[in-house]
Amino acid sequence: MFSVGALTHQNWGDVNSKAGYLIVQDKGTVSDVQHFETDAPKFIDMEDIEVDDADRVAGNYVRARIEIDEDKEVVAYRELLVDELGAAAALILPVRKEKAVTRKGAAKTSLDRLEDSVTHFISASSSIDADLKADVNAAVLTTLAEVDHAV
């Protein structure tokens, strides 16, 4: 038994699947099966785009995950795929390049960030007397430091 499936790709779920037709020749006890792809457009995924990809891209629907710095690069990559490499259509999924963040001094630890949150919460609290906020904050931060050292 043979399942022929679809003659063509239908959507992005068909990426990397075989589509086309089969020719089955019955030779008595053995069947010879040959698979042939059609010339219909395929859905393909790409991570990098090179000028050498023209044969792979031409006439197909291309979805590309591209690392970019600026939004205008999306248009440039789409034009490269469609206008220069001959894609039937192009969908660019931009991935933002990570920007290096530099700080003076040591990086904050999770305890430092927790301390900042606690301090902010106490200072914004309306249920803690304003004259006691500094003492409450100091007591809570001392307890946090003790728990952190105990763990």
Higher per-residue confidence, 108 vs 57: 57
Q: Ranked by mean pLDDT, which of 4-13, 39-48, 101-110 comes out on top?
A: 39-48
Q: Of 37, 32, 10, nearest to 21 (Cα)?
A: 37
pLDDT confidence of residue 112 = 60
Bigger pLDDT: 97 or 49?
49
Please tell me the pTM assigned to this model.
Answer: 0.57
Cβ count within 10 A of residue 63? 16
Task: Give the least confident one: 43-47, 110-114, 128-132, 144-148.
Answer: 110-114
